[in-house]
Chains A and B, each alone.
Chain A
Amino acid sequence: MLLGKDLAVEFRSRETLSSVLVLAVLVVLVLGFAAPSGVSAEAAGGLLWVALLFPALQIQTRLWASEADQGMLDALMGAPVGPAVLWLSKFLLSVVLTAVLALVLTPLFLVIIGETVRGPLGIFLAGMALGVIGLGAVGATLSLLTARMRLREALMPLMALPLSVPLFLGAVVITSGSLSGTPHQVGLWLLLMGVFDVMYIALPLLVADILMEV
């Protein structure tokens, strides 16, 4: 129900997604200008994730903003559901919005850079999905930590980027491997990303009541 509320708000105002999608398209265009003759498949995976990362951070910074700006965080705490459920609904919203971003950005990126998925599509999609889920989890947690802060836009990337290094490495290796058609050690990296995702979903759920306090 909470997810439904957030999705309805987002759908009606489209304030987050519209600006973020424009930003994402611009990033891809800039990358296209920067590499007019295309890049190697190995580098393309990294570029795709860099292009995804910054708009995704933009989404996640805004996750709790409407509640915090209108002083509704305390009201939410009074809702007849636990803080873990509140976090979970924001996490799902974060994943849905980031997934929309990835769905728009990835094909556009591949067209502009001139690459195709040469490896198995399933592995490519699994890497994208685990990456999006992990970013969503880290983002939902950190944006709650900074929700009541005036300068949260400045702080979010500072905390999120180093924290998601393992996820990012896994995502880049899987994506680059799928694009070039010869993915290496796929199981290992998918496992690592899975562990990262589970860790950053379980931890906030465990400390959700303390998170809401901040």
Chain B
Amino acid sequence: MRYSQTLSNLRWILFAVFVVALLWSFVVSPDDAILKSSQRIFYIHFGSAIACFIAFAIGWAAAIAYLVKRNLGWDRLSAAGAEVGLVFATCVLVSGSIWARVAWNTWWTWDPRLVTTAVLWFLYVAYFVLRAFFAEDRRRQAVAGALFSLFAFLDVPVVFFSVNWWTSIHPKVITESGINISSPAMVTAMMLFLVAMILLAADLMWLRWRQHTLADRLEAARAELRSY
């Protein structure tokens, strides 16, 4: 109990950071020279992208730890990392798409980073479908999930390189040379949002991890009850 009390106190810090980050990016930070105010979505986009990759990386490392140690705690962490990563990946894709509509005049383009994020998104959707199909057997679910997570995450660098080469053959690729961070206030807004998003991701992961733990304990208690 005391543990979660400390955590909800800490959550005020997260809230404060978010307020400061929002104020900074909407009030203090100047308009972009070309993109005007629409550039501000970039702060959310960048923070989400980094938080997404951190969450996925934690999920992947925890999957390997599960395969080695066979402790379901690692699997719960792995699932939490993948879930939070998927949420932030969705934010990245949506905010990036909105930004691209204004900056590049298109919702979607075959840029390596875009395609890699989209492929990553689909891989983790498949990961959750796989886990859902194994729902009745907790141990098998953990093993299958960890294995697929292992294959999927290793695929990401290969996807990135291949799409990079693929688009470099097509000359019509739009590069990101339009972004120009010259103002220090912009960099501050970017960094504030980065911290805010990472803290949010950490908090969400903790919550999901605890939910998974409680669900497993509940299931164990039910099984014990049935055995009487």
Which residues of chain B (135-150) have a CB below 8 Å from chain A?
Answer: 140, 143-144, 147-148, 150
- B118-156 vs A: 1/0 string, CB under 8 Å? 010011011001100110000010011001101110110
Which residues of chain B (8-43) have a CB below 8 Å from chain A?
Answer: none
- With a cutoff of 8 Å between Cβ atoms, the chain B residues found around residue A188 in the complex are 165
Min CB gap A102→B, angstroms: 21
Min CB gap B70→A, angstroms: 10
Given contacts A145-B148, A203-B151, contact A213 B143 (CB under 8 A): yes
- With a cutoff of 8 Å between Cβ atoms, the chain A residues found around residue B122 in the complex are 158, 161-162
Does B108 count as interface, using CB distance less than 8 angstroms? no
Measured in the bound complex, the distance between the Cα atoms of B27 and A43 in whole Å is 49
Which residues of chain B (100-125) have a CB below 8 Å from chain A?
Answer: 115, 119, 122-123, 125
**Residue in B150, B159, B161 whose beta carbon sits within 8 Å of that of A203 in the complex:** B150
- With a cutoff of 8 Å between Cβ atoms, the chain B residues found around residue A148 in the complex are 140
Closest residue of chain B to A195, judged by CB? B158
Count of interface residues, chain B, beta-carbon cutoff 8 Å: 29
Closest residue of chain A to B157, judged by CB? A166
Given contacts A141-B151, A155-B129, A199-B158, contact A210 B123 (CB under 8 A): no
Closest residue of chain A to B139, judged by CB? A213
Q: Is the CB of A203 within 8 A of B165?
A: no
**Residue in A149, A159, A199 whose beta carbon sits within 8 Å of that of B154 in the complex:** A199
Closest residue of chain B to A184, judged by CB? B169
Given contacts A210-B147, A214-B147, contact A145 B169 (CB under 8 A): no
Measured in the bound complex, the distance between the Cα atoms of B148 and A141 in whole Å is 10
Min CB gap B127→A, angstroms: 8
Does B204 count as interface, using CB distance less than 8 angstroms? no
- A170-195 vs B: 1/0 string, CB under 8 Å? 10010000000000110011001001
Interface of B, helix, strand, loop or mixed by DSSP: helix
- B148-182 vs A: 1/0 string, CB under 8 Å? 10111011001101110110010000000000000
- With a cutoff of 8 Å between Cβ atoms, the chain A residues found around residue B57 in the complex are none
Given contacts A189-B165, A192-B161, contact A158 B151 (CB under 8 A): no
Residue among A148, A159, A161, A184 with max Cβ neighbours from chain B (10 Å):
A159
Given contacts A151-B133, A184-B169, A192-B165, contact A159 B159 (CB under 8 A): no
Q: Is the CB of B151 within 8 A of A185?
A: no
- With a cutoff of 8 Å between Cβ atoms, the chain B residues found around residue A195 in the complex are 158
Does A169 count as interface, using CB distance less than 8 angstroms? yes
- With a cutoff of 8 Å between Cβ atoms, the chain B residues found around residue A79 in the complex are none
Closest residue of chain A to B140, judged by CB? A214
Given contacts A162-B119, A163-B155, A210-B147, contact A192 B162 (CB under 8 A): yes
Which residues of chain A (109-143) have a CB below 8 Å from chain B?
Answer: 141
Does B65 count as interface, using CB distance less than 8 angstroms? no
Does B67 count as interface, using CB distance less than 8 angstroms? yes
Q: Is the CB of A145 within 8 A of B144?
A: yes
**Residue in A146, A149, A158, A207 whose beta carbon sits within 8 Å of that of B150 in the complex:** A207
- With a cutoff of 8 Å between Cβ atoms, the chain A residues found around residue B162 in the complex are 165-166, 169-170, 192
- With a cutoff of 8 Å between Cβ atoms, the chain A residues found around residue B67 in the complex are 207, 210
- Starting from the known contacts A159-B126, A162-B119, A207-B67, 11 additional A-B residue pairs (CB-CB under 8 Å) come to A145-B130, A146-B130, A155-B133, A158-B126, A159-B148, A163-B151, A165-B119, A165-B155, A166-B155, A195-B158, A199-B158
A-B contact list, 10 entries, CB within 8 Å: A145-B148, A151-B133, A155-B126, A158-B122, A162-B122, A165-B119, A165-B163, A169-B163, A199-B154, A207-B67
* Chain A interfacial positions (CB closer than 8 Å to B): 141, 145-146, 148-149, 151, 155, 158-159, 161-163, 165-166, 169-170, 173, 184-185, 188-189, 192, 195-196, 199-200, 203, 207, 210-211, 213-214
* Chain B interfacial positions (CB closer than 8 Å to A): 67, 115, 119, 122-123, 125-126, 129-130, 133-134, 140, 143-144, 147-148, 150-152, 154-155, 158-159, 161-163, 165-166, 169
